[in-house]
Amino acid sequence: MPYPEFLRVGQVNYPIEYKPVLKTTSSVRIKNGVVLLKLSRFAQGGKREEIVEKFLKWAEKRLEKVEKLDFINPEYEDGGRIVTHNKIYELTVDVLPGINSKALLREGHFLKIRLNSFLTEAERKKKIKFLAERKIMEDQTPYLKEVLEELNQMHFQERVNDVRFKRTNGRFGSCSSKRNINISYRLLFAPREVFRYVCVHELSHLKEFNHSARFWAWVETAMPNYKEAEKWLRGRGFLLG
Ligand SMILES: [Zn+2]
């Protein structure tokens, strides 16, 4: 039987994904703005429906606790809008036979996705997201470099090797011993201060490669109210799609 594709809470439709698993237990969690239900293959029929209903109720309660959202998750579909800190991308999708699927950026904010008509509906959805993300990451890298450079010059004066956006699932940022800083692409949709906090956090690791008191002192010097951003990430970070 078909289960709902979205869970509507307030003004927001949260996508629901159902994954059959070979375990005896089922589970639910919310990750990257998606309600993810892992359903045991051993639970069938009415039992399965009961589990789905129970899990969706849990997700609804959990999402109701989140106050009004202060960000808009990207809409990866024809006619969708992708709202970042410095521009709004308008997305259109054309499906054409015999072409290589690709993304084009026109006039700085019209994001045109061309898809090969051989792709199935599920493949199209994935491909739109993949191509749009790649194009936006490319377009927004100068912005990321600018923010990091500004914060670095102001508070750290450290040597940075390379800076990139990454599609990460869990972590919002990382800093390697080679002085490479990666920032999660999803933070482009978080409030600007949260984005800047993660940049400050990773730059502080160039001073202290740990989470010691000295490390946090660097963070606090660069961003005295960083705890608010931390709280935001803990409370809402999981909703960033
Ligand atoms: Zn850290």
Task: Give 5-63 pLDDT, tens digit per residue.
Answer: 999 988 788 999 999 999 999 999 998 889 999 999 999 889 999 999 999 999 999 99
Whether residue 199 contacts residue 173, with contact meaning beta carbons closer than 8 Å, is answered with: yes
Is the pLDDT reported for residue 120 higher than 70? yes
Q: Mean pLDDT lowest for which of 69-73, 141-145, 150-154?
A: 69-73
Residue carrying structure tokens 């470099």: 145
Q: How far is the CA of 158 from the centre of ligand 1 (A)?
A: 16
Is the pLDDT reported for residue 124 higher than 80? yes
Beta bridge partners of 6: 15
Q: How far is the CA of 170 from the centre of ligand 1 (A)?
A: 13
Q: How far is the CA of 225 from the centre of ligand 1 (A)?
A: 17
Q: How far is the CA of 167 from the centre of ligand 1 (A)?
A: 18
Residue carrying structure tokens 């106050």: 67
Q: How far is the CA of 209 from the centre of ligand 1 (A)?
A: 8
Q: How far is the CA of 204 from the centre of ligand 1 (A)?
A: 8
Is the pLDDT reported for residue 93 higher than 60? yes
CA-based end-to-end distance of the chain = 27
The pLDDT score that the predictor gives to residue 21 is 95
* φ and ψ at residue 188, rounded to 5 degrees: -65, -20
Q: How far is the CA of 139 from the centre of ligand 1 (A)?
A: 26
Structure-block tokens of residue 213: 């008191």
Is the pLDDT reported for residue 205 higher than 80? yes
Q: How far is the CA of 64 from the centre of ligand 1 (A)?
A: 30
Task: Round to whole Å and give the CA distance between 201 and 3.
Answer: 41
The pLDDT score that the predictor gives to residue 73 is 87
Q: How far is the CA of 118 from the centre of ligand 1 (A)?
A: 44
Output 106 or 72, whichever has higher pLDDT: 106
What is the pLDDT averaged over residues 114-128?
A: 94
Is the pLDDT reported for residue 223 higher than 90? yes
Residue 74 banded pLDDT, cuts 50, 70, 90: very high
Burial track 22-32 (b if 16+ CB lie within 10 A, e otherwise) = eeeebebebeb
Q: How far is the CA of 231 from the centre of ligand 1 (A)?
A: 15
Q: How far is the CA of 198 from the centre of ligand 1 (A)?
A: 9
Residue 177 banded pLDDT, cuts 50, 70, 90: very high
The pLDDT score that the predictor gives to residue 2 is 78
Q: How far is the CA of 131 from the centre of ligand 1 (A)?
A: 29
CATH class of 141-239: alpha beta
According to DSSP, the β-strands at 162-166 and 180-184 are: parallel
Q: How far is the CA of 133 from the centre of ligand 1 (A)?
A: 25
Question: Which residue in 133, 175, 168, 183 sits closest to 238, CA to CA?
Answer: 168
Q: How far is the CA of 223 from the centre of ligand 1 (A)?
A: 15
What is the pLDDT averaged over residues 116-125?
A: 92
Q: How far is the CA of 35 from the centre of ligand 1 (A)?
A: 27
Residue 1 banded pLDDT, cuts 50, 70, 90: low
Averaged confidence pLDDT in the chain: 94
Burial status of residue 12 (CB atoms within 10 A of its CB: 0-12, 13-18, 19 or more): middle
The pLDDT score that the predictor gives to residue 228 is 95
Every domain of the chain and the residues it spans: 6-64, 81-139, 141-239
Where would I find the beta strands (DSSP E) of the chain?
6-9, 12-21, 27-31, 34-40, 81-83, 88-96, 102-106, 110-116, 162-166, 173-175, 180-184
